[in-house]
Amino acid sequence: MTELRSSQWYGGDDRNAYIHRAWMRRGLPDSAFTGRPHIAIANTASDLTPCNAHLTEVARSVKNGVYEAGGIPLELPVVSLGETQVRPTAMLWRNMAAMATEEMLRANPVDGVVLLGGCDKTIPSLLMAAASVDLPAVVVPGGPMITGTFRGVPLGCGTDVWRLSEEVRAGTLSQDDFVRSESATIRSRGHCNTMGTASTMGLLAEALGTVLPGLAGTPAPDSRLLEGAHHTGRLAVELVTADRRPSTWLTKASFHNAIVALAAIGGSSNAVVHLLAIAGRLGVDLTLDDFDRIGSHVPLLVDLQPAGRFLMDDFHRAGGLHAVLREVRDLLDPSALTVTGKPLVDHLGDAPIWDPEVIRGRADPLIAEAGIAVLRGSLAPDGAVVKPAAASPHLLRHRGRALVFDSIEDFHARVDDPDLDVDADSVLVLRGCGPKGYPGMPEVANMPLPKKLLEQGVRDMVRVCDGRMSGTAYGTVVLHVAPEAAAGGPLALVRTGDIISLDVAARRIDLEVPADELARREASEAMTAAFANPRRGWERLYVDHVRQADTGADLDFLLGPTGSAVSRESH
């Protein structure tokens, strides 16, 4: 083993080493400062991040494993983002959380880190930080909640919120019953039990190779999560001893496998911006087109909400991620390694499917080709994405009149107006919701349908937006349109009544307006959208430096790894 990084703080007998050791003793023995790896436990537990509140218990199991393997565990609270709680959107602070965690890991005397995350943005931000600081790192996903039921019917938190709220607006569910379902939705600790962004990123963290093999997807209340956390603590010490850092094994092949997994599990479209951002921190050349090239022809094998019927505890009992990956093993890159030092494919074994209703075999997919589709065209020159598995097949090729909303507030003010000029063939366009325009790229793209259409039985329409949608949502929604309207993209020039054509098979999204007319609009018309223009603080820094969705919406000065070196002593 090379010299421990922490010895730069604790080694020697000068005044500075004395200060560092003395203030950290507080019960630690002398041996704690002589050759034992110091392992940070970056913990996103918070009472205001309800999906992560149990991670303090998980951290105790990690600590026991670190101690058992001869290390010194040190819990480090880091920025926690609760998707359901923070306003205006958790995505606004993903990059801040990553930057803060990176800086704290670099600034402190730690040799490796265990990353505890669960809710949507926490695992991406932790992996971005780990990639940037490049210390030995491993993830423990907090896991999904177990399924609640209402009137005998399983509830998928997130997905059923969207469904039930639309039924209320359609007049087919009473407001009292809707409110009554609220206490049944969240049955236990853990994050959403659908294949939303939290479940997706926990599973993709393992597909990337950053999780103890077999742990991702374990339900939060399951005792095996604590067992896996204990083993992860032991593994963290091994990573330091072997000097196994993210840069030594996270490669383009790792992202290839994550994209295959994303398609096969029917994962969240949000994974696109998160994987691009993580790759950017590593300096890995991952592009939006890689998602289409690698994943678009991968079969959907997991019958989970929002694309299917079941929920995450069903997925776990049916065989979990390894059972899925074994079915598409021929599509994986066998060179991609994991935190164990062994290739991902070596951990799949025979990985049986225990319930073929939940996890389909390769010969009987839910959808034959279901990965994220990347669209380009006159409306999205730098790309947009759509999730065919969550869309209505009859709308994947569509042509209709645009109905434009300049902000989410504009949308809410007008969508249920009985005089709204809209029909089932209209294309709902929402702009001002990109990284700069909102700011923060919120999950508003899956716009609720106009009430008058819901009452007519309409349940899906083509929707186009420069924002994101929840991984628990569904519908024919074109997302992440780049450049966004606030960055001068063509979306800013769309008028109500313009014709928009969508052809997912041809990978096109086009605005059928002559180029000279668009040029005239750009030159002569002021945009009516009230795009964000913050004056101070993080929002100002964010708007000035955030990149577009097609590159991961990270800050421009955070690309590439920086490493863990700190040259100056503070005393």
| pLDDT tens, position by position, 404-439 | 999 999 999 999 999 999 999 999 999 999 999 999
92-116 exposure pattern, b = at least 16 Cβ within 10 A, e = fewer? bbbbbbbbebbebbbebbbbbbbbb
> Do 327 and 440 belong to one domain?
no
> Do 310 and 439 belong to one domain?
no
> Do 176 and 206 belong to one domain?
no
pLDDT at 530: 53
Q: How many helices (H) and strands (E) does the chain have?
A: 20, 14
Mean pLDDT of 432-456: 94
**Whole-angstrom distance, CA of residue 539 vs CA of residue 440:** 9
pLDDT at 434: 96
pLDDT, one tens digit per residue, over 458-505 is 999 999 999 999 877 789 999 999 999 999 999 999 999 999 999 999
Domain endpoint, select from 134, 169, 185 = 185
Count Cβ atoms within 10 A of the Cβ of residue 83 and give its class: 0-12 exposed, 13-18 middle, 19 or more buried.
Answer: buried
Cβ–Cβ under 8 Å, residues 114 and 129:
no
Mean pLDDT of 49-70: 97
> Do 114 and 229 belong to one domain?
yes
DSSP 146: P
3-state secondary structure of 43: strand
> Do 248 and 284 belong to one domain?
yes
Collect all residues with Cβ–Cβ distance below 8 Å to 303 and sequence separation of at least 6. 309, 310, 357, 358, 359, 360, 366
Collect all residues with Cβ–Cβ distance below 8 Å to 537 and sequence separation of at least 6. none
Structural domain includes residue 399: yes
372: phi > 0 → left, psi -120 to 50 → alpha, else beta; which? Answer: beta
Is it the case that residue 42 has pLDDT exceeding 50? yes
* Token output for 269: 């479209």
> Do 181 and 108 belong to one domain?
no
Residue holding tokens 């366009």?
Answer: 429
pLDDT at 5: 96
> Do 180 and 258 belong to one domain?
no
Residue numbers of the domain that contains 157: 148-185
Give the model's confidence band at 1: pLDDT under 50 very low, under 70 low, under 90 confident, else very high. low
Cβ–Cβ under 8 Å, residues 434 and 91:
no
**Whole-angstrom distance, CA of residue 343 vs CA of residue 440:** 36
Torsion of Cα atoms, 519 then 523 then 526 then 530, to 10°: 60
Structural domain includes residue 14: no
Structural domain includes residue 51: yes
3-state secondary structure of 31: helix
> Do 478 and 510 belong to one domain?
yes
Structural domain includes residue 77: yes
**Whole-angstrom distance, CA of residue 374 vs CA of residue 377:** 10
pLDDT, one tens digit per residue, over 287-332 is 999 999 999 999 999 999 988 899 999 999 999 999 999 999 999 9
Structural domain includes residue 263: yes
3-state secondary structure of 189: coil
> Do 137 and 155 belong to one domain?
no
> Do 340 and 388 belong to one domain?
no
Cβ–Cβ under 8 Å, residues 444 and 408:
yes
Indicate the number of domains in the chain: 3
CATH number at residue 472: 3.50.30.80
CA torsion through residues 544, 550, 556, 558, sign: positive
pLDDT at 177: 87
Percent of the chain with pLDDT over 90: 84
> Do 233 and 290 belong to one domain?
yes
Mean pLDDT of all residues in the chain? 94
pLDDT, one tens digit per residue, over 504-548 is 999 999 999 999 999 998 877 655 445 677 889 999 999 999 999
* Token output for 80: 């926690």
pTM of the model: 0.96
Strand arrangement of the beta sheet that strand 72-77 belongs to: 72-77, 38-43, 112-117, 137-141
Structural domain includes residue 11: no
> Do 285 and 412 belong to one domain?
no
Q: Which helix (H) or strand (E) holds 519?
A: helix 515-524
**What are the residue ranges of helices labelled H in 328-435?**
408-414
DSSP 266: T
Structural domain includes residue 364: no
pLDDT at 409: 94
> Pick the residue with more confidence: 257 or 534?
257
Cβ–Cβ under 8 Å, residues 336 and 257:
yes
pLDDT at 169: 85
pLDDT, one tens digit per residue, over 158-182 is 778 878 888 888 888 899 888 888 8
Structural domain includes residue 63: yes
